[in-house]
Amino acid sequence: MKKLKKIAVLPGDGIGPEVIAQAVKVIEALNDKEDLKIELTYADVGAVAIDNHGDPLPDETKKICLESDAVLLGAIGDPKYDHDLTIQKRPEQGLLELRKLLNLYANVRPIKAYKALLDFSPLKKEVIENVDFVIYRELTGGIYFGKKGMDASGEKAFDTCIYTKEEIERIARPAFEAAMKRRKNLTLIDKANVLETSRLWRKVVQDLSPEYPEVNLDYLYVDNAAMQVIQNPKRFDVLLCGNMFGDIISDESSVIAGSLGLLPSSSFGESHCMFEPVHGSYPQAAGQDRANPIAAILSTAMLFDHFNMKAHANDIRNAVQRCIQESILTEDLKPKILTSCSELGDIIYTLIYDNMIDINTQKIQTAKSVII
Ligand code: IPM
Ligand code: MN
């Protein structure tokens, strides 16, 4: 008997529900085909949760997430909160609180240049060709979670960046281990010439390195790293960063892939895990069925990896790869065959469900049919 796996599905805001609907199709393709016994439970988070429950992370959502084997999240954020900085309950708080609640201290963001998409990056083809690196971002500490405040005058504010040895070690270890399985290079991104916390990062990571003698460890100041990520991205294998630096470097790195709509991520701690696209809620496209669902779909591949179901994860990646190769994609990638978000989800569903039978591109093009 296969064990029941519970997944909490949190579509969130903006394009979140549209792209998550496609990710769910992919899970269903595998579930339908092989009776994987996956159970999905939906819950609200972010702006939609403030609208429906007055709280960006309602208790019901917390309970569902805590009781699940994995969380699949869409996107968070609504422009109606962007211009009033005095609002107390912000959608993003829901996400930060959820990361903390589930103790998701490690965030993994793979960055890859797809051969068929090299022209979509504003960077030169020869610079990004074959780029393949992964960012390990600390996710529950640092300046995001330190003491913060504004004084009564409203003219003075502060955010505190705190890290402990233990917090650094628990993200550094999986980063070293990832490097062992890859090209054995680990780069710590910090600002050790200025920040005390960065000096602690260097010391802790340096002290760990004898346990991984095969891994070549180097260090880069974050300002220099920001430059090298676009000047010479091939030099990177595994990047290890604190919370804020990892946030910034990962958006910058998305330029290599050609679209933020392609980047998946996974987050984990000791007992919970979450999978979400790197992109935001893209409110300009919300409700129009034109967002790119690939980041959300590839996040489900990372989910299957995490469940140790490598073959299923590869089925998903192969189906996505086929669509990229044949240029059957959403508008952000100016494809030969333009699909909507839901059509691309249907095509990927069919490719997985029917074991990669031939794609009848003409049929897709003329009839916009997904029967292939
Ligand atoms: C991300 C996002 C979040 C972050 C926001 C929405 C709080 O930018 O996941 O990268 O800063 O961590
Ligand atoms: Mn970000």
Tell me: pLDDT of 222 over 60: yes
What confidence tier does 1 reach under pLDDT thresholds 50, 70, 90? Answer: low
Q: Which residue has the tokens 């065959």?
A: 337
Full-model pTM:
0.94
Ligand with minimal distance to 276 CA: 1
Tell me: pLDDT of 19 over 80: yes
Distance (angstroms) between ligand 2 centre and the Cα of 278 equals: 7
Beta bridge partners of 5: 38
Tell me: pLDDT of 220 over 70: yes
What confidence tier does 356 reach under pLDDT thresholds 50, 70, 90? Answer: low
Distance (angstroms) between ligand 1 centre and the Cα of 143 equals: 13
Taking residues 66-93, report their average pLDDT: 91
- Of 95, 105, 260, the residue with max ligand 1 atoms within 8 A of its CB, to mutate for a pocket test, comes to 95
Atom 4 in ligand 1: residue holding the nearest Cα = 247
CATH T-level fold of 1-116+258-372: Isopropylmalate Dehydrogenase (3.40.718)
Ligand with minimal distance to 95 CA: 1
- Of 247, 253, 278, the residue with max ligand 1 atoms within 8 A of its CB, to mutate for a pocket test, comes to 247
- pLDDT score of 362: 56
Taking every pair of Cα atoms in the chain, the longest distance, rounded to a whole number of angstroms, is: 67
Pairing type for strands 132-138 and 106-112 reads antiparallel
pLDDT in tens, 102-121: 999 999 999 999 999 998 88
Across the chain, what does the average pLDDT equal? Answer: 93
- pLDDT score of 355: 72
CATH T-level fold of 122-253: Isopropylmalate Dehydrogenase (3.40.718)
- pLDDT score of 370: 47
Phi, psi of 11 (to 5 degrees): -65, -35
Q: Which position has the higher pLDDT, 66 or 354?
A: 66
pLDDT in tens, 274-326: 999 999 999 999 999 999 999 999 999 999 999 999 999 999 999 999 999 99
247 in contact with ligand 1, CB cutoff 6 A:
yes
252 in contact with ligand 1, CB cutoff 6 A:
no
76 in contact with ligand 1, CB cutoff 6 A:
yes
Closest atom, ligand 1, to C-alpha of 265: 9
- pLDDT score of 372: 42
CA–CA–CA angle 295, 354, 349 (5° rounding): 25
Residue 116: DSSP 8-state: G
Do the first three CATH levels of 1-116+258-372 and 122-253 match, i.e. the same topology? yes
Closest atom, ligand 1, to C-alpha of 139: 12
Amino acid at 324: I
pLDDT in tens, 186-208: 999 999 999 999 999 999 999 99
Catalytic residues: 144, 191, 223, 247, 251
Tell me: pLDDT of 369 over 70: no
Domain ranges of the chain: 1-116+258-372, 122-253
